[in-house]
Amino acid sequence: MKPMIPGIPLPSLRRTLLSCCALILTPALLQANEALDVLEGKKNATDVPLPPAPDDGKAADAAEEVIPLSDEWAASPLDPVWSKAVLFDDPSNPYVQQLAISGLFHWSGAWGHASPEAGSPEVDLDGTRTRRARLGARLRAFRNTEIEAVAEFAGDSNFNGIERLKGTTRIFDNAYVSYGKMKPRFSIEYSTEPQDLLVPERSFLVNMVAPASTLGIMIGQDTPTWDWGLGLFSGDNDSNIPSIQGNGFLVANLAYEEAGKSSKGGGLRTRWHADYIYNFDDNNNPAIPRYDVAGRRSANGNQLIKNNPAFRHLFSTGVEIEQGKFSFAGDFIVASGDTDAWGVSLTPSYWLLPGTLQVVGRYHFADSDQKGGLVGGMGVGSDPYFDSSPVFVGDEYHSFYFGTNLHVYKDELTITNGIEHVLLKDDAGSGFDTDAWIWHSGARLSF
């Protein structure tokens, strides 16, 4: 017989292989043999040496390396002050369980300038705004109903007024019906309350396509994993109490949430969502979009905006992930109708000091096949619905934001600072392409 490996005779190779296997298997085989001997009565169990137990101390140390970040906040010296916002709280009362006042003060500042290409003057973006000044009340009654009323005092006359007047009644365990003036749920950023936003302002495309807070009714269900909602809203857009106008629009929400453990043993929370809005009134709905820029001229190149953007279908889908100190939100939005636009937002964040200092990044991209199809603002005037700050038009938009959020008191008193670089392109040519560097500072106080 020839050796399998040239130069090494077969008996020698076999011996080597057998020796290796024996070395690897010896402890396990010995234990298995001794166990058999004990079972067969050849040996006494007490005479068999047991392998050393794993070092519990080391195992515990290893487990402690991954400490999941809790959602719970540690007690803070301002707790007694903030607790004054709850005027009455008695879960055992059959009629009124809680009465509380709520508020949000959001100051925002931006410094920078937008530079259109040759031919157009630079646009000064320096400015500060009281971006939101809200005061309201929340009432929980009859063990199943919550009523929220919030007044807005900031912004132009078409912005300030009654921000929401909404009731939610729980039916059975997890089903609900909401009614009144409220913000339809659409996309991650628009569904997030402003005091909880990680970035100074919602992204360009969200502000461009989001529907107004208006009169509507929604039914839905919140289960531990699946959430859904279906609603019908009026086509009226009134900063106080809207009326029932036109055919309105339909809202459908679906979300799936799961909480598990990551491969490192920490907590992992994931939430997928899909939101759809069908606008029955097409280009004759003041609630979609919320603003009217028809007839105005763009700050980049003085282009005339002949028609206000109009959308029949709005769709958003995305995911939010939280794992320990890290979180991520990714959202895709598409809007179609007389105007077509789509875009994505990617927002990672990381707690440098959990509960105190968070770094946040956001990349936002928006695109349209139509020349000048994208309309929006920059700096403190990035929401065209808020005031009559300069508007910019284009067909391709990139924004890179990086900043930090300092939490002085939980999520209720925060200071934000960050820098944003914006690139806005326009196929219309004539030097309308614009880029901007903007420094953002802001403070939010809410209760």
- Round to whole Å and give the CA distance between 106 and 133: 6
Closer by beta carbon to another protein, 213 or else 414: 414
Closer CB to another protein, 397 or 447, in the complex: 447
Considering the complex, state which of residue 208 and residue 413 has its C-beta at the smaller distance from another protein: 413
Measured from the CB of residue 412, what is the shortest distance to another protein in angstroms? Answer: 9
Beta pairing class for 175-182 and 249-261: unpaired
**Residue 424 contacts residue 300 (beta carbons within 8 Å):** yes
Residue closer to another protein, measured from CB, 88 or 400: 88
Q: Based on CB atoms, which residue is closest to another protein, 243 or 356?
A: 356
**Alpha carbon of residue 118 to chain centroid:** 37
Evaluate the omega torsion of the peptide bond into residue 289 and state whether it is cis, within 30 degrees of 0: yes
As a whole number of angstroms, the distance between CA 111 and CA 124 comes to 8
Q: 277 Cβ partners below 8 Å, 6+ apart?
A: 184, 186, 211, 249, 250, 251, 252, 288, 313, 314, 315
Kindly list the distances between the CA atom of residue 258 and the CA atoms of 39, 263, 373, 409, 446, in Å, as whole numbers in the listed order. Answer: 47, 15, 38, 29, 29
Shortest distance, position 413 Cβ to another protein, whole Å: 8
d(CA 253, CA 258): 17
Question: Cβ of residue 290: shortest distance to another protein, in angstroms?
Answer: 34
- Shortest approach of another protein to residue 244 CB, angstroms? 39
Cα dihedral 159, 150, 445, 377 in deg (nearest 10): -20
Q: What residue ranges bind another protein (CB under 8 A)?
A: 64, 67-80, 86, 88-93, 351, 353-356, 406-410
Contact between residue 106 and residue 416 where contact means Cβ atoms under 8 Å apart: no
Q: Which is nearer to another protein, 47 or 71 (CB)?
A: 71
- Among candidates 199, 192, 212, 188, which has minimal Cα distance to 108? 199
- The residue assigned the tokens 């929220």 is 148
CB of 65 to another protein, least distance (A): 11
- Taking the complex as a whole, the smallest distance from the CB of residue 348 to another protein amounts, in Å, to 18
* Nearest to another protein of 82, 278 (CB atom): 82
Answer for the pair 188, 175: CB distance below 8 angstroms, yes or no: no
Q: Report, in Å, the least distance between residue 208 CB and another protein.
A: 34
Q: How far is the CB of 94 from another protein (least distance, A)?
A: 12
Cβ neighbours of residue 260 closer than 8 Å, sequence gap 6 or more? 267, 268, 270
For residue 411, the minimal CB distance to another protein (Å) is 9
CB of 281 to another protein, least distance (A): 44
What 3-state class would DSSP assign to 354? coil
268, 303, 254: which is closest to 426 by C-alpha?
A: 303
Nearer to another protein, 325 or 425 (CB): 325
Closest to another protein by CB, 52 vs 91, is 91
**Cβ–Cβ under 8 Å, residues 236 and 215:** yes
Give whichever of 49 and 80 is closer to another protein, judged by the CB atom: 80
Residue 36 C-beta-side C-alpha neighbours within 13 Å: 6
**Number of CB atoms found within 10 A of residue 245's CB:** 18
Q: What's the alpha-carbon Rg for the chain, to the nearest Å?
A: 30
